[in-house]
Amino acid sequence: MPDRSHTSNDSPDRREEPLVNIIPKDAKKPYDMRTILNMVLDKDSIFEIGKDQGRSQITALARLDGYSVGVMANDPYFLGGSFNYDVAEKFQRFVDMCDTFHLPIVNFVDQPGFAIGMQSEMYGTIRKGVRASFSMLQATVPLAVLYIRKCFGVAGGAQKSGRRLSWQYAWPSAVWGNIPVEGGVYAAHRAEIESKHNPKAYLEKLQQRYRNVASPFRTAEAFGIEDIIDPRETRPLLCDWIAMAYDLEELNLGPKKRGMRC
């Protein structure tokens, strides 16, 4: 179990005002995820791992109120943050490492889904992605999930575990569902849309139907997530969570039944 080796000089109650407007209203526009991480995690504590591999997935070690923590996040500046074949390998190994060494994980999610195309098929993106999904499901360390913006499809489902003290929070900017509205609705309903007398109007109707179920408020009302939070409250909330996560993980010390995957 990683030790809390020092008391943090960074206040656990720090609230960063820029977080309120950091996510663009236009869903097609990217933003700097690393800026968010720097405003939420302890100052000068982030050590990024594998920055040049699987670039749409950020993995790092950092601290929250002095506690060591594993950090995952999607980078919308590269492939929109999508789950590519190299991301699957990076994701799996990082989750396995954190689980092996009893390191709680914080996951900042903006996941549009699996990358598609000929290259993705050649490199087995779906096969590797499912393997990565199992690493999350089999991990027993506490997990905090922050839905920042997109979370779609099987790749979106891989971002959470449902295990002990695994909390899920959403920013008001979050949207999710089986498929993304932009592009995904047309791809899924192409034959149906093109058979209509007015395909454009029918596509707009379908897109609106999907938008109506993509809001995080519906999921919160059904208790599918713990809460929808003010982005400025992210750090204080996570600092409360990490203290409880360490208390819980201390009850589960010792070798894991399943270690690192080959």
Mean of pLDDT values over 235-252: 87
Q: Cα separation of 168 and 160, whole Å?
A: 8
Third-level CATH fold of 17-178+215-252? 2-enoyl-CoA Hydratase; Chain A, domain 1 (3.90.226)
Amino acid at 164: R
Q: pLDDT of 122-172, one tens digit each?
A: 877 888 878 888 888 888 899 999 999 988 877 777 778 766 668 889 999
**pLDDT score at 206:** 76
Cα dihedral 125, 98, 102, 260, rounded to 10, equals: 60
- Relative to beta strand 105-111, strand 67-74 is parallel
- Other C-beta atoms closer than 10 Å to the C-beta of 49 total 15
**pLDDT score at 3:** 56
Q: Any idea what DSSP says for residue 250?
A: G
Nearest to 205 by CA among 177, 186, 178: 186
The answer on pLDDT for 232 being more than 90 is yes
Chain-centroid distance of CA 254 in Å reads: 28
Q: Cα separation of 28 and 186, whole Å?
A: 17
Region of 49 (left: φ > 0; alpha: ψ -120 to 50; beta: rest) is beta
Mean of pLDDT values over 7-29: 90
Q: Between 258 and 120, whose confidence is greater?
A: 120
Q: Cα separation of 240 and 125, whole Å?
A: 36
Q: Cα separation of 203 and 194, whole Å?
A: 9
Q: Model pTM?
A: 0.82
Q: Cα separation of 238 and 240, whole Å?
A: 5
What rounded mean pLDDT belongs to the chain? 84
Mean of pLDDT values over 5-24: 88
Cα dihedral 66, 35, 79, 91, rounded to 10, equals: 0
The answer on pLDDT for 229 being more than 80 is yes
Which residues lie closer than 8 Å to 161 by C-beta, 6 or more apart? Answer: 136, 137, 139, 143
Domain ranges of the chain: 17-178+215-252
Cα separations in angstroms, 118 against 71, 122, 237: 31, 6, 42
**pLDDT score at 98:** 93
Cα separations in angstroms, 187 against 30, 119, 129, 248: 23, 19, 21, 44
**pLDDT score at 239:** 95
Q: Which two tokens stand for residue 154?
A: 């099987």
Q: What are phi and psi of 80, to 5 degrees?
A: 65, 15
Q: pLDDT of 194-219, one tens digit each?
A: 788 887 887 887 777 766 666 666 66
Nearest to 176 by CA among 163, 159, 193, 192: 159
In the chain, what percentage of residues exceed pLDDT 70? 81
Q: pLDDT of 28-57, one tens digit each?
A: 899 999 999 999 999 999 999 999 999 999
Instruction: Categorize the per-residue pLDDT at 61 as very low, low, confident or very high, splitting at 50, 70 and 90.
Output: very high
**pLDDT score at 104:** 94
**pLDDT score at 226:** 77
In the chain, what percentage of residues exceed pLDDT 90? 41
Region of 28 (left: φ > 0; alpha: ψ -120 to 50; beta: rest) is alpha
Mean of pLDDT values over 223-248: 88
Q: Which two tokens stand for residue 57?
A: 């997935």
